[in-house]
Structure 1
């Protein structure tokens, strides 16, 4: 199974696009994630949804808005919209603390790191 991150952006307007993608694909949602990462002494948030493959394909997409949402109190509008959308779809997001993408030489290594964490914790199917 090919598991690949598809980056929509950094969590600005694209976070609303991710919510719409979740609504349109509500029957395909496998899991939803809220990743937190430390950056310059503060936490930033990435939001993502993993979708089941279409028909008999081996493609398992994980759509993500990477590190563009600051951790704030009260919760930012972008994050609250994502959590409200998931609640409407009866999906409980999984919250995971991860390293910031700047820790890695490139984004491909960053995404391989996250896929490893998700597989290790059985949040996504094993690689076939």
Structure 2
């Protein structure tokens, strides 16, 4: 099976594009993910949605908004992450949270994505 990250961006509107994708195809959603990291001395979160593989081609997309959300802290409100949490409740899929290194520790973004895919496979969040 081929798994690939598809970066939607890291800005405000990109989070809502991810939410719209999930809302339009909730039956295809396999997992919702939050990757927490520290980048430039700031705690950041990437949110992602793993979709079930396509029937033809056996391709599994993982849509991601990369390191664009401040990490949610206790009672501190975070509108974008709160919207993702509401989506999680709406489609009855819990958010799997992982602490990962920042993307800029890798020379190429593709290497970072390969590392994340390996971590997801090792934790049986996705299958190979």
Which category of TM-score, normalised to the shorter sequence, fits these structures?
Answer: over 0.9
2: CA distance between counterparts of 1:4 and 1:89? Answer: 23
- Gap change, CA 1:123 and 1:72, over 3 Å in 2: closer
Please give the root-mean-square deviation of Cα atoms over the aligned residues, in Å. 1.1
Match of 1:121 among 120, 123, 128: 123
- Gap change, CA 1:70 and 1:28, over 3 Å in 2: same
- Report the equivalent of 2:52: 52
**TM-score relative to the length of structure 1:** 0.93
**1:72 Cα deviation from its structure 2 partner:** 4.5
**Structure with a larger share of its residues in helix:** 2
1:1-128 superposed matches below 5 A = 1-73=1-73, 74-126=76-128
Runs of 4+ residues deviating >4 angstroms: none
Tell me, what secondary structure is at the counterpart of 2:12?
coil
Structure 1 residues without counterparts, runs of 5 or longer: none
**TM-score relative to the length of structure 2:** 0.93
